Amino acid sequence: MTTNVYTPDELKKVDPVFGQISFDHHEQVVFCHDKDTGLKAIIGIHNTVLGPALGGTRMWNYTSEWEALNDVLRLSRGMTYKSAISGLDLGGGKAVIIGDSKKDKNPELIKAFAKYVDSLSGRYITAEDVGTTTPDMDLIHTITPHVTGISESLGGSGNPSPVTAYGVYMGLKAATKFKYGSDDLNGKRVLVQGIGNVGETLVKHLVNAGALVTITDISKDRVEEVSKKYNTAIYMGEDLYSLDVDIYAPCALGATVNNDSIGKLKAQVIAGAANNQLAEEAVHGKMLQEKGIVYAPDFLINAGGIINVFGEIAKYGSDEAIRRTENIYNTTLDILNLAKEQNITPNQAAMKMAEQRIEKKKQENK
């Protein structure tokens, strides 16, 4: 008998797609390449039981194609649960474009990507995400109808970031109430990591509520700009997880809640806009539970954006989008109470609720 021993890098080459650690019964993965524009993109469709797979397009300068594939698989799966837990008739999908949005993005590349979206005939509906904008969605709309988050002047719902931030704020208030018995944020010390469009709007809500906000971001200029605007504290050091705060709001990229950060965290509540905040869901969700840290599941509380753009499909307006987004507060409390009653993590409770809705629809479709 011959035994083959693989290094981690060699192992990746054995089953580069279906063997991916983030592959979770995805229905379809589409690799997109256009020679003329240099487009390299991946579209992940995780589940379409509840409806077409809707999810934004992220443009990021990934270090490898492996990293890009892992991201699109995790993000598309997260969108399935986000739509299901939010009561939307949508499945989960996501797309990533490999490249630096500040240097590599141009109209021809975006249009080339739009043609791939169109080729899926509505199984995947795109929207904006990190590295893409409402004008990008408007350009995609000239190629395919399978796009949301287009400008209001074109009949769309516009930039979803403010509604996403409002949903995160609602979830953060609910988690605060669960932990401290009150959702009053006056005097609460909050660390917001990542000051993009969503992060800045969250800062605005928090400051208006009387919270003592500290902000951090990889861009020093951006931090200084937002700090001056809202009179917040700034942290630019290397040990931000050890800061003495009550609430940690991760609003940048994912996996910041991990073995290293959990050991340092002084915050008693985690509630932010970033996707896939837990580096390993089962492991780190349990670690937070054991430390008594309340975690508001990211795919639940950052659903305001998709609730907003779903209005373009379901034909409801901004008032209804805000009403549905406000309900994130109640759903968060329901999830946290369910987790406590069943002695499971909030992430497990939220996934359980979402999976029950998907399974019920699956049985109805038989």
Residues in binding site for NAD(+): 194-199
Give the residue ranges of DSSP H helices in 86-219. Answer: 107-119, 134-141, 161-180, 197-208
| 8 A C-beta contact, residue 352 and residue 78 | no
Question: What is the Cα–Cα distance from 114 to 105, expressed in whole angstroms?
Answer: 13
User: Is the torsion defined by CA of 108, 132, 28, 10 positive or negative?
Assistant: positive
Identify each DSSP E strand in 254-308 by its residue range. 269-270, 294-295
Q: What strands lie across the sheet with 212-216, from one edge to the other?
A: 233-234, 212-216, 189-193, 247-250, 269-270, 294-295
Question: Looking at beta carbons, which pairs linking 17-23 to residues 24 or more positions away fall under 8 Å?
Answer: 17/69, 20/69, 20/70, 20/73, 21/70, 22/69, 22/70, 22/73, 22/74, 22/77, 23/73
Catalytic residues: 94
| Residues sharing a CB contact under 8 Å with residue 103, sequence separation 6 or more, in sequence order | none
